Amino acid sequence: MAKQTVSIIGAGLSGLTLSRCLQQRGIPTIVYERTSTAARHNYGITLYASAYIPLLKTLNVSEKAFKSRVAVDEANGGAGSVRPISMGSVLGKLDEGEACFQANRGNLEDWLREGLDIRWDYTLQNIEPSSVPDGQPIARFSNGQEVQTSVVVGADGPHSALRNSLLPEIQLAVLPFVVFNGKRRIDRDLFEVALVPYLGESNVITFRKDDIRIKLSIDNYTTERISISWTYSRPSRGASDPLYKPERTLSGATKIPEKLFDELGSLLRPDLPQPFGTVLDEKEVRKDRLLHWLMRVILVPKDALRDIASGGIVLIGDAVHAEPIVGGNGANAAILDAVSLAEHIAKTQGSGLSSWYDSRYGEWEHDNMGAKANIETLHKSTNAKI
């Protein structure tokens, strides 16, 4: 097994992390990615010590060196500091507690990709599990290529082509929340005046009023400009809610209802505190890169996972246990899955994949329930007066 190549479908966080960890252990991998080039994910994600410390130990990298490469403010010599700064009502649990920092996902993926064998323009068409124990599954791609290897890992996200090929009956569910995200770049001079006095040393600040939550994050620094993003979220108001569209298509994420601007305006009129008032000014928001996010979740049944594992196929990260973007912890879970699976493959020479699920599934169940409870807590109405 040490000389056989592990095939990984998907060049996201879980796939790249797995490839790096296996490479560190002397096990070759090839990562197959459907896109033609690496996506530039220029936004911040919160990484918790419980996830990134095991990764750094595996790769023999210091925490200081790691943060100097991936922190959102690394260009300023920062370490991605996250402090519990909020306005309005109380914070949810993800805003406090365990040590964490704000990483730029694009920087993190760039760092993980170093030295990896990644094949671009490889869209999975179908996969054929091995019919015998310890046999070799076959992955077929739309470019006509066919790969046969001892282990195939599906790390291709919540809309996993691998999962849909083998388990089409298992579909994503959508939680009843309205969530919109906006991204923009602002001049450093404006940033220093409009945001720095409120952020202090933190790269994240939140606001809550009743059951509405707004999160403002710093995503990246350059010499002249700062990349920021904001997320507006609240529970659905029911079937007639014009902003709750759980059946929208993937391409519909960029179709922004006019009602969103009305809602943001109603928040501004009672004097939304700074820096949110400046950031959510309607004229500026309309120029943002806006996306309608659905809070998708999934947890593939354990028996189904064990069945495909017997054919040399394993799913990790969002492909098997997606959590909602708001209230969830998907990036950290993806890293932990990859570190754990790499250790398992190295110890077992790629056999006994079903037993790896036994070691992880209880945590996935706990995280799945916890994420659902947390998004509820983050939006629990308190009727706070600002």
The 8 Å CB, 24+ separation contacts for 307-310 are 308/129, 308/166, 308/167, 309/353, 309/354, 309/356, 309/357, 310/129, 310/133, 310/353, 310/354
At residue 107, the pLDDT reads: 96
What does the pLDDT look like over 27-61, one tens digit per residue? 999 999 999 999 888 899 999 999 999 999 999 99
Distance CA 367, CA 201 (A): 30
- Assigned token pair, 183: 């991204």
- Assigned token pair, 66: 């790691």
At residue 95, the pLDDT reads: 43
How many CB atoms are closer than 10 A to CB 132? 9
At residue 132, the pLDDT reads: 78
What does the pLDDT look like over 62-115, one tens digit per residue? 999 999 999 999 888 888 888 755 554 443 333 456 789 999 999 999 999 999
Distance CA 10, CA 154 (A): 7
In residues, how long is the chain? Answer: 386
How many CB atoms are closer than 10 A to CB 168? 8
| 8 A C-beta contact, residue 232 and residue 261 | no
What is the secondary structure of 235-256 as a DSSP string?
Answer: E---TT-TT--TT--GGGGG--
Distance CA 378, CA 85 (A): 15
Low-confidence ranges of the chain (pLDDT < 50): 1-2, 88-95, 384-386
Sequence-ordered list of residues with C-beta below 8 angstroms from that of 196, at least 6 positions apart, any chain: none
**Prediction pTM value:** 0.93
What does the pLDDT look like over 266-282, one tens digit per residue? 887 777 889 999 999 99
Convert 173-197 to b/e letters by CB count within 10 Å (16 or more is b): ebbebbbbbbbbbbeeeebeeebee
